[in-house]
Structure 1
Amino acid sequence: VWDDRVNEIYGRPADGQPRGYDDWALTIHPDDLERARKDFDTAAATHGRYSSQYRLLLPDGTIRHVRTRAGFLQDAGDTPKMIGAEWDVTSDVLLNENLVRERQLSESKNAELETAKARIEHVALHDSLTGLPNRRFLDEMLAGAHDDRTALLHLDLDRFKQINDTLGHAAGDAMLMHASKVIKANARTADFVARIGGDEFIVVCHGRRDDELAALADRIIEEMRQPVDYKGHQCRFGVSIGIAANSGIDAKQLLVNTDLALYRAKSRGRNRYEFFNEELQSEIVKTKQTADEILGGLERNEFIAYYQPQFDANTLEIVGVEALSRWCHPRRGILGPDVFLKVAEELNVVSLIDRTILEQTLENFRRWSLDGLNIPRVSVNVSARRLEDKDLIKGLRRLAIKAGTVSFELVESIFLDEHDDLVAWNIEHIKELGIDIEIDDFGTGYASIVSLLKLQPRRLKIDRQLITPITGSAAQRRLVSSIIEIGKSLGIGVVAEGVETMEHARILKELGCDILQGHAFGRPMDATSFRTFAQSREWLAAG
């Protein structure tokens, strides 16, 4: 017998009619019927408790979820009967289903977020071109590394820029991809290979001996030498490598050490490797000390001009002086450029030294004139870096240099880059200011006849390396004679530096050289000593 609530659940009228097994079975959802019957039959066979949950499919298509609990008993006539109750749990089931769906949706979104996060993190930690870890990844990895046997190889591709500039960035990218494959192929699986920018890579190794690190570097260098085909072009480039091992130092210093070792490898000819060692460490300490002292010296006006006279080859009269930079060091005395120039270039203060020497020279030039000492002109060395200064001409105009009294000596290598518009513009305007141009160290660099025609310098100075052997070599005399003839044919005055003996002076005069400069007549000297020397005219006795 079904009560009114059960009839309502099953979608039947509360008409008091008896309902039985068939009425129950016909209303159960077809997909749940077999399981519900099985549960019922099992309970009936054992006279045990019946417990089940299933769906009802009502005549109007409505689906309800019901939970049933019942027990069997027998009446006095041994007729088995089931007495139980049923609950409509549709709302509970739907709520649980919604909760499950929401949880699944949330888990799906979380998974997507984790995937996106991992993708973003991968992009942030890897180089987009080669797929290698980048500098950030390297820094994070090294920050967590505590192995005392960690070693780093810092690699920098040689001649990569030339390929990139001539064949384009696509070719450059292809070379970077090739380089990354070579490095990965030679490194161990446990090694960490990163591209840290441009054409630079880092390999982090653990537990490797120095000979193993050297062997790794040798393999990479050898493979990197091999030509790489790119669209029919045989591209050749090399690699310089700096190596440093962790000797109780932090990761930041380890990177600095590899960079210093790399710098030495490049300065010693490239396409090689160098280890960071005590010698290099000592050199670095010395260089840093020199750098600090240079900066302090500039503040204390320790850089001064020395002057070496230049003489007419025929009359031996002074026709000019060359202003040379000297460092009046408080402890070491007067130092030449060989001590400080390289470090000054690294500090980017050569232009400042140039400017200091020029300003001192102009002041001394004025004083000599007031003292009645007539020096026709002074030559001042100008660095390539200063010619790249966009404010150079503005500064020169403020000095109000009298036309024809000052010459700028430029080394030959400056004229290699004929496409540097700023350098070309500065040189042209230097000449417009009445400042002559001289080519220094001619014969040992790269200046060509075409360069001479384009630049039209007032004078060229033959390098001392060519002058020194002329007393004992006919071939060397012919070479110097040819340079003098080239100068004369182009209307360019010729200066010979490194004139050490009167024999040098005699030969150069016979060859037609215009101006002589060297220890045979006078060494570089400070402004006061030069004035005394020039007024004494003592060199004429030697001539």
Structure 2
Amino acid sequence: MLTGSYDLSLVLISLCVAVLASYTALDLAGRIARASGWGALLWIGGGAVAMGIGVWSMHFIGMLAFSLPIPLGYDLALTLLSLALAVLSSGFALALVGQERLPAWQLGAGALVMGCGIAGMHYLGMYAMLMQPGIDYDPVLFGLSLVIAALASGAALWIAVRLRKRTPYVRLMRAGAALLMGLAIVGMHYTGMAAARFPLGSFCGAAPSGLDSHWLAILVILVTLAVLAIALLTSILDARMEERTAQLAKSLAQANLELTQLALHDTLTRLPNRLLLEDRIGQKIAKAQRDGGHFALMFLDLDGFKPVNDAFGHHVGDQLLRAVAQRLRDNMRTEDTLARIGGDEFVLLMKLRDPEDAASVASQQIALLAEPFHVKGEELRISGSIGIALYPGDGQNQQELLINADAAMYHAKGSGKNAYSFFEQSMNTNARNHLQMLQDLRSALERKEFLLHYQPKFAAHDGRLIGAEALLRWQHPQRGLVMPDEFIAIAERTGLIVPIGEWVLDEACRQMSLWYAQGHHDWRVAVNLSALQFCHAGLVDCVAATLARHGLPANCLTLEITETTAMRDADSSLAILGQLADMGVDLSIDDFGTGYSSLLYLKRLPANELKIDRGFVRDLEQDSDDAAIVSAIVALGQALDLRIVAEGVETPRQQDFLTRLGCDSLQGYLLGQPCPPEQILKAATEPV
């Protein structure tokens, strides 16, 4: 027998190639399992070529590592055929592990087919030497090599199925499994090689014209490493891209979730907002129509919240709203909905076993709100008024139920507050009027239905006309001339007061510019600012732009804000009033004496005048307390070097008393009633 020998360096290279090919196969199995359609077919085809070349080259390098004391060569056609067997076997294996499930019988059959393919590749590759006489094989070792091929194939398939999913440390586990698979493949090859017997006198028929073993070894190693590296790199890059895509999709989903949360929830309390509430009311209606049953819509408005907000500031008011929301939410069922739809307005949507249950629930809510709240070290007490609308009796859709519950709430508030009221049909007219008023108000600006009347202001000491206060009126197409007390509250609740207030400012300045052009340079026009308008971020810029647009000196404009508004957030008010004062605008504190001013802040406010509330002036002749209060306000204003204006003067005695007391200017029905601007000029020629 001819005695063969091995090139140790090539043996080690064959082992490395086997391990690398095994790792590539395991990685590709994971890619195929996550792909579908044409993508999966492409991965199977490309993976079959890469894995087949890897397995084949390991066997072929192992054969090239073997040498006999005779020249050796390999027939090209048979060598390529053995490579084709390796590629087909690899493709079969990858297609098998790409299935969603791999039952035991399929695993066994696949291991047998794949083992036969690998064994066929190996022994066909050895046959490519065309030995004469033919190679003699030891039956035991030959059979053992077949068994090893089948077992190695089965183990490879089982491991590939187990490691195809992306789990923590999966790459490390694949590396360990690849080492075991590589050792198994190498073991099968060298067992097959050990089974070969070469009789004395044998010669290699492929040596003269076949492939040269030295150069072939180098070529196979380079090509194999390149193919495996490309396949592995492609798989890794694709996995990275998939991870980034998955991360991007996750981030996008999270962003969409956050946007949905913002769109459907109140930012302060995190409760559902009106949009989400209406959707859930619709769901309740659909369920009640399908399955029967009742549910209640409870419209809750906080009593006493505004004084708290005014006295302690918005930051305390916001904390109080959060505390109210949390207390109500903690005492409701998970299937019910609590929503915040306005400043201090909440809505509770709840299923009822019986309509009468709504009364007990409303009583519980009122009792909860009656308990004191502890916010920022302050003990705050408020109450609630609740209006209840029942389905199906009090409305057929979301809008009707909300309107009717709102109407019932106003009835409860009008009946003394801190109570609940069920909707009654008699309230429907008021509710519809309220809704119609709101709808008409939204379009009043566009239709140019607003107009200004002006109440003249006179110097107290000589009765000279010194200006006028702009008063808003609404020329409604059906209702006629509507006074502000009928619609200002709605405008403030809906935020429409801001654009309406800007229109009033613009129109008053336009009219004042006409008077100024007529020579009335000592007149001032007074414009009231609502609390919302005063807090609006664009107020200062709006005033500056309006004055510039009409070419009006800033000192011809007086802006009136109530004492309560000025004291709501004193530091913020100081900043805004300071900017207006720097511009040259005249500033007046309206309704003085009705709020809770701090004299320290009042001294710091850059105001020019105090306006005594008409409530004190009205009872001046009968109530000595009112006379004392007015005297104190005048003295305080004079001490702070402020002009004093008294409004609501209706009798000569009131006029005389206020003039003697030291008021600088007066206004009231005795002196001049609100009138269109063209009639103001008559008052200028008729001294009081």
TM-score, normalised by the number of residues in structure 2 = 0.52
Of 671, 674, 678, the match for 1:521: 671
Report deviation, 1:94. 6.5
Task: Give 1:384-463 correspondences, 5 Å limit.
Answer: 384-398=531-545, 399-400=547-548, 401-418=552-569, 421=572, 423-463=573-613
Report deviation, 1:487. 0.6
Structure 1 residues 279 and 430: alpha-carbon distance in aligned structure 2, compared to 1, 3 A threshold: farther
Q: Distance in 1 between matches of 2:447 and 2:615?
A: 35
Task: Give 1:233-252 correspondences, 5 Å limit.
Answer: 238-247=383-392, 249-250=395-396, 252=398
Q: Distance in 2 between matches of 1:346 and 1:216?
A: 27
Number of matched pairs: 413
Of 132, 151, 161, the match for 2:296: 151
Cα deviations by residue, 1:99-126 (Å, 9 ceiling, x for unpaired): xxxxxxxxxxxxxxxxxxxxxxxxx99x
What residue in structure 2 maps to residue 87 of structure 1? none
Q: Distance in 1 between matches of 2:379 and 2:652?
A: 55
The secondary structure found in structure 2 opposite 1:499 is coil
What residue in structure 1 maps to residue 506 of structure 2? 359
Structure 1 residues 354 and 252: alpha-carbon distance in aligned structure 2, compared to 1, 3 A threshold: closer
CA contact (8 A) 2:299 2:386 kept: yes
The secondary structure found in structure 2 opposite 1:518 is coil
Cα deviations by residue, 1:172-217 (Å, 9 ceiling, x for unpaired): 9887665445445xxxxxx95334469956352435345x432332
The secondary structure found in structure 1 opposite 2:473 is strand
Q: Distance in 2 between matches of 1:523 and 1:167?
A: 39
Q: Does 1:293 align with 2:440?
A: yes
Of 650, 654, 662, the match for 1:500: 650
Report deviation, 1:330. 3.5
Q: Does 1:309 align with 2:456?
A: yes
What residue in structure 1 maps to residue 402 of structure 2? 256
Cα deviations by residue, 1:468-495 (Å, 9 ceiling, x for unpaired): 1111222221111011101111111110
CA contact (8 A) 1:243 1:261 kept: no
What residue in structure 2 maps to residue 204 of structure 1? 350
Task: Give 1:315-394 correspondences, 5 Å limit.
Answer: 315-373=462-520, 375-394=522-541
Task: Give 1:474-493 correspondences, 5 Å limit.
Answer: 474-493=624-643
What residue in structure 1 maps to residue 621 of structure 2? 471
Q: Distance in 2 between matches of 1:174 and 1:443?
A: 32
Q: Which 10-residue stretch deviates more, 449-458 or 196-205?
A: 196-205
What residue in structure 1 maps to residue 362 of structure 2? 217
Structure 1 residues 275 and 471: alpha-carbon distance in aligned structure 2, compared to 1, 3 A threshold: same
Cα deviations by residue, 1:475-528 (Å, 9 ceiling, x for unpaired): 221111011101111111110000001111011112221111111111011111
CA contact (8 A) 2:649 2:669 kept: yes
Structure 1 residues 491 and 260: alpha-carbon distance in aligned structure 2, compared to 1, 3 A threshold: same
CA contact (8 A) 1:151 1:208 kept: no
Q: Which 10-residue stretch deviates more, 365-374 or 294-303?
A: 365-374
Structure 1 residues 503 and 196: alpha-carbon distance in aligned structure 2, compared to 1, 3 A threshold: closer
CA contact (8 A) 1:470 1:477 kept: yes
Report deviation, 1:368. 2.5
Structure 1 residues 354 and 176: alpha-carbon distance in aligned structure 2, compared to 1, 3 A threshold: closer
Task: Give 1:27-66 correspondences, 5 Å limit.
Answer: none
CA contact (8 A) 1:163 1:235 kept: no
Report deviation, 1:151. 2.8
Report deviation, 1:377. 1.3
Larger strand proportion, structure 1 or 2? 1
Structure 1 residues 258 and 148: alpha-carbon distance in aligned structure 2, compared to 1, 3 A threshold: farther
The secondary structure found in structure 2 opposite 1:441 is strand
Q: Distance in 2 between matches of 1:231 and 1:360?
A: 43
What residue in structure 1 maps to residue 660 of structure 2? 510
Structure 1 residues 152 and 192: alpha-carbon distance in aligned structure 2, compared to 1, 3 A threshold: farther
CA contact (8 A) 2:298 2:348 kept: yes
Report deviation, 1:331. 4.0
Structure 1 residues 337 and 375: alpha-carbon distance in aligned structure 2, compared to 1, 3 A threshold: farther
Report deviation, 1:167. 12
Structure 2 gaps, min length 5: 1-102, 109-259
The secondary structure found in structure 2 opposite 1:470 is coil
Structure 1 residues 402 and 172: alpha-carbon distance in aligned structure 2, compared to 1, 3 A threshold: closer
Structure 1 residues 178 and 515: alpha-carbon distance in aligned structure 2, compared to 1, 3 A threshold: closer
Q: Distance in 2 between matches of 1:192 and 1:426?
A: 46
CA contact (8 A) 1:326 1:337 kept: yes
CA contact (8 A) 1:138 1:194 kept: no
Q: Distance in 2 between matches of 1:288 and 1:172?
A: 26
Structure 1 residues 154 and 307: alpha-carbon distance in aligned structure 2, compared to 1, 3 A threshold: closer
Q: Distance in 1 between matches of 2:380 and 2:668?
A: 47
Structure 1 residues 137 and 321: alpha-carbon distance in aligned structure 2, compared to 1, 3 A threshold: closer
TM-score, normalised by the number of residues in structure 1 = 0.64
Q: Distance in 1 between matches of 2:282 and 2:447?
A: 40
Q: Distance in 2 between matches of 1:163 and 1:435?
A: 26
What residue in structure 2 maps to residue 89 of structure 1? none
Q: Distance in 2 between matches of 1:166 and 1:355?
A: 29
Looking at both structures, which has the greater relative contact order when contacts are Cα pairs under 8 Å and sequence separation is at least 6?
2
Structure 1 gaps, min length 5: 1-92, 99-123, 185-190
CA contact (8 A) 1:153 1:241 kept: yes
Q: Distance in 2 between matches of 1:328 and 1:276?
A: 32
Structure 1 residues 479 and 295: alpha-carbon distance in aligned structure 2, compared to 1, 3 A threshold: same
CA contact (8 A) 1:261 1:276 kept: yes
